Chains A and B, each alone.
Chain A
Amino acid sequence: MAVTRSGGFAGLVRRAEVDSADHPTVAGLIGDVRLDDVPEPRPQPDRYVYDIEIGDHSAQVGEADLHGPLRELVDHVMTLGG
């Protein structure tokens, strides 16, 4: 899976990729995440935008909507693969 973070005041792009086969924690978190359920991004000035890809699924999530297991997953992947 991969996470690409864009936006923020700086506008810098950061991408992190992790193979869930190598990371049981990531695999576990993926099981708790429903990418189809994330709300449509509401663009807000200088907030981060996350493009999340899990296998064939992808979704764009605004920083303010990143909660619960999805937040945990994104933070974990950014730490591991950033």
Chain B
Amino acid sequence: MVQRTLTLDHEQRRTRVAAQLIAQPPPATTPVAANRTLHDAAHKETLPGRTVRAEGAPATGDQQADEVYDWLGVTFDFYNTAYGRNSIDGGGLPLVATVHYSVDYDNAFWEGSQMVYGDGDQQIFKTFTGPLDVTGHELTHGVTQYSGGLDYNGQSGALNESVSDVFGSLVKQYHLGQTADQADWLIGQGMFTDAVNGVALRSMKAPGTAYDDPALGKDPQPAQMADYVETDSDNGGVHINSGIPNHAFYLAATTLGGHAWEKAGRVWYDTLTSKKLPSGADFVTFASMTYATAGTLFGVNSTESDAVREAWATVGVKVT
């Protein structure tokens, strides 16, 4: 009896292995998959906090932790599918995130090795975990970091911010299956409470129009180099002047049409990850490199490289 069972098992195993070989030929390379871990800071500021969900584990029931788990997965999938990038560092970096950071914290940030999300104060901000583009924006700070970085002040800092907005918006467009003309090109849509007069934090389509509120003031983003804001706050206005390169990307993407991550996004991604982009790049340097990248990808006098040059020219940045 014992012998018979062993024999049967052996046969079953052989059959099963044979079936697997037919159904699933071994992949040429190891398949890549997100490796996510969610933590809860329980309103303290110690990172990473208590582990609440590991990769593959069922939903926690905590809406914020589960939203972030999903958005980390979508962002991972976007970078992998669109650009063949395995996670933030290109080498399968585990994705770690902490929710419920601090008290009434109106922010989310990339800490250098993990994501951190506040709950929002519920007066101005109702959520930082709800909109996918927030997670896309923050993880892209990690991509920029692992690509050699863009110094976080002045024009290079505004480029760092803009690149995060660009890919934050592209992750959302990818998730929704939108073409450039269907996208809202907004950053942070759905974050404000109903008390705030505004649709989002930033608009790549029309910088300076995202909000106009008695308490918050008016969206200060320029769309033109002529309106570049010189300031000492916010590391030289990195969240203000990002409007200029944001609008250049919008113009290139809508001129080219289709899925924005395929052409304009590919040009920006290849420029960011070329290892040739100086960390102190100014707008002209970055613009010129996107133009060169478009030429390499699509041809020197191609529709694509012309669109990139024209987009920068329209915002007052002349490629060299």
Contact = CB atoms under 8 A, between A and B. Distances in A.
A22 B138 CA distance: 41
A16 to B, nearest CB: 13
B160 A48 contact: no
A10 B107 contact: yes
Contact of B109 (A9, A13, A43): A9
Interface string A47-67: 111010000000010000000
A60 B106 contact: no
Interface size class of B (residues with CB under 8 A): 35 or more
Nearest to B140: A45
Contact residues of A: prevailing secondary structure: loop
A39 to B, nearest CB: 15
Interface in B215-238: 216-217, 232-235, 238
Contacts, number: 74
Interface string A1-43: 0001011111111000000000000000000000000000101
Contacts of A10: 106-107, 125, 188, 191, 201, 239
Interface in B107-150: 107-112, 124-125, 128, 134, 137-138, 141, 144
Contacts of B134: 9
B157 A43 contact: yes
B260 interface: no
A9 B128 contact: yes
B240 interface: yes
Given A43-B151, A43-B152, A43-B157, A8 B235 contact: no
A13 B217 CA distance: 9
Contacts of A43: 151-153, 157, 235
A75 B141 CA distance: 27
B204 to A, nearest CB: 14
Given A6-B233, A46-B109, A12 B216 contact: yes
Interface of A: 4, 6-13, 41, 43-49, 51, 60
Given A44-B109, A44-B111, 7 more contacts: A8-B106, A9-B137, A9-B188, A43-B157, A46-B109, A46-B110, A60-B232
Interface of B: 106-112, 124-125, 128, 134, 137-138, 141, 144, 151-153, 157, 160-161, 164, 188, 191, 201-202, 216-217, 232-235, 238-240
